[in-house]
Every structure is written in C-alpha cells, then in structure tokens.
Amino acid sequence: MRLSYRLALPALILWGALAAPAGAQIREGRYAVEGNNPDGSPYTGQFALQPGPGGSWVAVWQVGNVRLAGLGLIEGGVLSIGFAAEGRPGVAAYQVEPDGKLRGSWTTGGGIGQETLTPE
C-alpha cells in the first residue's frame, strides 16, 4: 500500500498542473453571456463578477427579465457558482480560459445548459 501512495502523489500533482491552464486568470467585471438552455433554445445576456468575502466570488446574471445571483469559488482553473432559479437550487461550473473567457455548463436539475461568458 505504501507504493500506491508514492504513485498517487505525483499523479495528483500532474493532474493539478493540467487542470489549471497557464495564464488562466479569473477577471472581475462584466461579461457578455451566450448560451443554450437544456432544451437547446439560445439566449444572451449579461454577467457580472466581483470578489466576495473570504476568497469567494459574487456573480449576477441578467438574461431577459430574469436576474439571478450566486456565490462561487475558483479551484484548479474552474469557477463553480451556486445559485437559485425560481426556488430551485442550481450550479454552474466554468473553465477559465487563458483569454479570460469562461466556458461551462449549468443545471437546476432539469437538464444541462451550456454557456460562454466573454469579458467586455
């Protein structure tokens, strides 16, 4: 069993290095939203991101007349945000790309939507 720990540690270090692309940095500010709902219908909107308490990030989406707020964190090059939509809990996860775009998926339990957030 000692041998497996010796193999696991380098594998975890390598995975961590691969999970966070070089130069990928989260950016405070406004983003343009382009996405597809779980049923495939497209939507556009605005997204704002600002630092929150204790290393967290505060997120606000505005899509049409729907405004959602959430709280997230970044770990290993992935921004994860919890939110509520019409009383249902939701989660979004975005890969932070080197150019500052955020690409990811979200769900409120009724399928998986896709979204790209582009810094403005």
CATH code given to domain 21-119: 2.40.128.120
Predicted local confidence at residue 20, as pLDDT: 44
Predicted local confidence at residue 24, as pLDDT: 61
pTM: 0.78
Domain spans in the chain, listed from the N-terminal domain onward: 21-119
Q: Per residue of the chain (120 residues), give pLDDT as tens.
A: 444 334 443 333 334 434 444 446 788 999 999 999 999 999 999 999 999 999 999 999 999 999 999 999 999 889 999 999 999 999 999 999 989 999 999 999 999 999 999 999
Question: With 0-12 CB in 10 A as exposed, 13-18 as middle and 19+ as buried, what is 92?
Answer: buried
Q: What is the 3-state composition of the chain as percent helix, strand, coil, each rounded to the nearest 5?
A: 20, 55, 30
CA distance 117 to 93: 12
Question: With 0-12 CB in 10 A as exposed, 13-18 as middle and 19+ as buried, what is 87?
Answer: exposed
Angle, CA of 102, 104 and 109, to the nearest 5°? 140
CA distance 109 to 80: 16
Predicted local confidence at residue 75, as pLDDT: 92
CA neighbor of 38 nearest in space, from 116, 118, 109: 109
Predicted local confidence at residue 26, as pLDDT: 85
